[in-house]
Chains A and B, each alone.
Chain A
Amino acid sequence: MANTSLKQIAQRLVEDALQQGATGAEAIGRAGEEFSVGVRLGTVERLKEAASKSLGLRVFLGTRSASAFTSDLAPESLAKLLVRALEMARATSEDPASGLPEAALLGQYPGELALYSDDLSQLRTEQRIELARRAEAAAFQSDPRITNSEGSSFEASAGIKVYVNSHGFAGAYQSSYCTLSVVPVAQPNGGSAKAMERDYWYSVSRSMAALESPEAIGRKAAERVLRRLGARKVASCKVPVIFDPETAGALLGNIFEAVRGDMIYRRASFLAGKLGKKVAASHITILDDGVRPGGLGSRPFDDEGIPSSVTPVIAEGLLQNYLLNCYTARKLGLRTTGNAARGLAGAPSVGPKNFYLQAGPYPPEQIIGSVKEGLYLTELIGFGVNVVTGDYSRGAAGIWVENGELTYPVAEVTIAGNLAEILHGISMVGSDLEFRGAIASPTILVEGLTVAGT
């Protein structure tokens, strides 16, 4: 891959920006290749392959700034990009908190992060197709009630990311990614198509070697869809809710939103003004770890050139850190936590490293076993979360728990509460933490949520 050349182009662009009057500049570059295959009912449905590259530039004129990006890296096109960025910067507002990180903060995590594996690029197209085919076949073989499929897909990508700024930072790293997923559809024996259900399962990894076997993924997907058959509504009530690791991860995603520095300085989070305070039950520890080897949120430096590290967010119930980039750190009078994330467009925002709830002592069976009557949650849909107020109301599906046992499936209900109360209401944390993305959680039990049904 043209690793050095993308970095050189970025460096030249930053130098040109300074020459044309910018007081500071940074460039971010990406180049990569992607491949995906979709298989349905054993037949290839789609094959997709591509390579792409792009470059984003941000310029500063004192405390004014503007940015631009292009997918065309020809010199004329980059020259135009620079002119427009400078023109726009002249028209934006003076913002004392804006600017590049101080040179002393810049650097790279020195350890091995295992972000790239070449075992993906060595796969032939036929092997990739076979992975998807095997996952779907395993789902069908699990049970005759698996009658249809939305398909199975294998996707792989590899690329390089470059970041250069006029405070002397120039870094690049390679990463790879692959995911195998399958979406089977089930219907009850002799039941009508109106009672159909679908569900999914997947594995995601930075190397082929760490990917779960297609058969395991297919069987798990089948298990997940079969347990939904015959779902009904329940009467509205307040009960304990067990979040499985997938739905607990979605809840952690809401907590991440609430500790983002931009939400904090704008007082747009229910956790604003709570640093150092007790915001969760005492056994709750949430970390944001940028250096987990092979982690999907790991990286040697963030999108402002700050070295990755581990940031404790909540430790034993106390709010320890917000997650910050340079801008939000300056706004709050704090130090960046290396959470700058940017697309190619605009100023850096705040993104997660590996943001997770630390595992607790309880096997999930023991958590289920402790609930007299409640809901074991397996799906959340919709967007009913307001991080400003903490109001939480989402569509849900799962399995009803009676006397410590999973009984019948439940659908067409909602769960509702408030995020601030949910953090205090987590009464048990499972031992089953697994990373399937940059945000992860084990099974948790939350007291006092409202389930709305009939």
Chain B
Amino acid sequence: MPSPDRFFFEHYGLTEHSLASYLSEALSEGGDYADIYFEHTTTSSLLLDESLVKSAHEGVAAGCGVRVIAGEQTGYAYTDDLSPERVLKSAKTAARIASGPARVSTVGLSTVASPHDFYPMVAASRDPEFRLKLELVLRADPAARAYAPQISQVRVTYGDQSRHILLAGSDGKIMTDFQPLVRLSVYTIAESDGRKGTGASGGGGRVGLDYFVGQHGPEHFAREAARQAMIQLEAKEAPAGEMEVVLGPGWPGILLHEAVGHGLEADFNRKGISAFSGRQGESVASELCTVVDDGTLPGRRGSLNMDDEGEPTQKNILIEKGVLQGYLQDRLNAHWLRATRTGNGRRESYEHIPMPRMTNTYMLPGKDDPEEILRSVRHGLYATHFGGGQVDITSGKFVFSASEAYLIEDGRITAPVRGATLIGDGPSVLQRVTAVGHDLELDPGIGTCGKNGQSVPVGVGIPTVKISRLTVGGTIPRKMQNFM
């Protein structure tokens, strides 16, 4: 069990007493619950382009947000001035959501340690660490260029974040966490005879810089980005229309994030506007599919010791053998849905109101051999890397865009094809999963999810799966292709 973080007490002179006074101000007009969220985040970033370190940057952002919940209503105010007067003013502003007699806040506040300890304490940015980060971006560049002479452009970005948070609630609890996050990404362009191909690869997580020693070295991501760009040079136009689709392991787990993850966030379901609303206990996937959202994987990008409402994260089963089990909850929505909190109440920063968000979303492995799955396809698409995705949670329609994909013809992988968007219907796509491999992989740790203007780091994962029918958004309609 980690020792509670005294950061805000030491650096900003907070005391249990001052926190209690802010909370009682927040409840001065009534309301059911109030909390105050202090955040201090340092960020650093580096950009290498044309083999030069062109940009080095550091930033510090600190502030606090006060929230008052009254029924289904939320009042929120934040300030980046942490003086007691400004914090009190924010509490008073947030309090205006309620209109009733003052509520007596809990008499005593006490610090509660999180049961989890999933990531290392990392030193704040200082010169020695800065040199190590520089070395990472500098090493990636020659490794990408050495992969093939056609690699004409290499861009490398490094970014990290060290975030201290403290949450004090009118339920009497003070909770703290320190959350590191690092990410290294390599982008390449290959050029040959006027054709171009692009590649992107990267990795990271809630880890220290030692993560990039060994198999996750910058050279690894550089070569992977270069490999993708070279493959794109050879790619032909993608097919258009419905076909069998095999997703490779790892990144393609973005399917789950878009097709079912967002639709299972409790806010949309409380409001009855999700394509999954009211479908708990129903079959929404083939029985080969068990999908979880798991914030407890040590060091993963989407993991947290506790969510941004102080609830310890857990491994939540969303779909078990095809049957919808439950939703991703935060405090407000769990209360109104009479469900228990699941540790998914997250926010981008102190400027934002928490809402239900995913952590690491993945499908448990099945029994099929990935090679066999590919051999079973007569005409289809094999997609192994994806860019972004998006979903309309009400109609359930979702997309995810393949950046590396191949045609499968008579059970064999043949030509690579250009990037194409795949589109499907969330509540039905997983019902068409006809094979699940034993090769579960998680993504390398660079995913970010956007919802209602808030971005949070997340993870995805999936084993090789076969989907019997999905629309592939290429440029060659099937009737115009040579019959395949």
A interface with B by C-beta (< 8 Å): 40, 43-54, 56, 65-72, 77, 81, 84-85, 87-89, 91-95, 98, 125, 148-150, 185, 193-194, 196-198, 228, 231, 233, 235-238, 266-268, 344-347, 379, 381-384, 386, 388-389, 391, 393-395, 397, 411-418, 450-454
A268 lies within 8 A of B189 (CB)? yes
A382 to B402, CA, bound (A): 11
B394 lies within 8 A of A197 (CB)? yes
* B127, B418, B476: the one within 8 Å of A87 (CB): B127
A333 to B328, CA, bound (A): 53
Closest 10 CB pairs of A and B: A414-B473, A395-B399, A382-B399, A383-B388, A452-B240, A384-B421, A384-B401, A198-B394, A236-B477, A236-B241
B477 lies within 8 A of A237 (CB)? yes
A54 lies within 8 A of B390 (CB)? no
Question: Per-residue 0/1 for B233-251: is the Cβ within 8 Å of any A Cβ (1 yes, 0 no)?
Answer: 0000010111000000000
B440 within 8 Å of A by Cβ? no
Chain B minimum-CB-distance residue to A262: B49
Shortest beta-carbon distance from B371 to chain A in Å: 28
B232 cross-chain contacts in A, Cβ below 8 A = 389
Question: Per-residue 0/1 for B25-44: is the Cβ within 8 Å of any A Cβ (1 yes, 0 no)?
Answer: 00000000000000000010
A382 cross-chain contacts in B, Cβ below 8 A = 388-390, 399-401, 421, 423
B241 lies within 8 A of A454 (CB)? yes
B390 lies within 8 A of A452 (CB)? no
B47 cross-chain contacts in A, Cβ below 8 A = 346-347
Chain A minimum-CB-distance residue to B80: A71
**Segment with Cβ contacts to A, from B115-123, B204-212, B270-278, B316-324:** B270-278
B414 within 8 Å of A by Cβ? no
B421 lies within 8 A of A197 (CB)? no
B387 lies within 8 A of A383 (CB)? yes
Shortest beta-carbon distance from B14 to chain A in Å: 16
B134 cross-chain contacts in A, Cβ below 8 A = 91
A233 cross-chain contacts in B, Cβ below 8 A = 471
Given contacts A386-B198, A389-B197, A389-B418, contact A66 B54 (CB under 8 A): no
Given contacts A345-B59, A395-B397, contact A93 B471 (CB under 8 A): no
A391 cross-chain contacts in B, Cβ below 8 A = 418-419
**Known A388-B196, A395-B390; further 15 A-B contacts with Cβ < 8 A:** A43-B72, A47-B76, A52-B78, A54-B61, A66-B56, A67-B56, A69-B58, A71-B63, A85-B58, A92-B53, A94-B52, A233-B471, A267-B196, A381-B399, A413-B471
A72 to B79, CA, bound (A): 11
B75 within 8 Å of A by Cβ? yes
A81 to B42, CA, bound (A): 12
Number of A-B pairs, beta carbon distance below 8 Å = 265
Shortest beta-carbon distance from B101 to chain A in Å: 19
Shortest beta-carbon distance from B330 to chain A in Å: 13
Chain A minimum-CB-distance residue to B241: A236
A71 cross-chain contacts in B, Cβ below 8 A = 60-63, 80
B468 cross-chain contacts in A, Cβ below 8 A = none
B153 within 8 Å of A by Cβ? yes
A150 lies within 8 A of B271 (CB)? yes
A66 to B418, CA, bound (A): 38
A68 lies within 8 A of B58 (CB)? yes
B58 cross-chain contacts in A, Cβ below 8 A = 67-69, 84-85, 88
A391 to B77, CA, bound (A): 43
B454 within 8 Å of A by Cβ? no
Give B434-484 interface residues, CB cut-off 8 Å to A: 471-480
Shortest beta-carbon distance from A436 to chain B in Å: 17
A394 lies within 8 A of B477 (CB)? no
B96 within 8 Å of A by Cβ? yes
B45 within 8 Å of A by Cβ? yes
B338 within 8 Å of A by Cβ? no
Residue from B49, B125, B475 whose CB has the most chain A CB atoms within 10 Å: B475
A56 to B43, CA, bound (A): 13
B277 lies within 8 A of A193 (CB)? yes
B3 within 8 Å of A by Cβ? no
Shortest beta-carbon distance from B406 to chain A in Å: 16
Residue from B77, B425, B472, B477 whose CB has the most chain A CB atoms within 10 Å: B477
B127 cross-chain contacts in A, Cβ below 8 A = 87
A198 cross-chain contacts in B, Cβ below 8 A = 273, 392, 394-395
B287 within 8 Å of A by Cβ? no
A416 lies within 8 A of B471 (CB)? no
B230 within 8 Å of A by Cβ? no
A346 cross-chain contacts in B, Cβ below 8 A = 45, 47, 55, 57
A416 to B232, CA, bound (A): 17
B275 cross-chain contacts in A, Cβ below 8 A = 194, 196
Residue from A125, A228, A237, A393 whose CB has the most chain B CB atoms within 10 Å: A393
A227 to B63, CA, bound (A): 44
A383 lies within 8 A of B425 (CB)? no
Shortest beta-carbon distance from B65 to chain A in Å: 8
B60 lies within 8 A of A347 (CB)? no
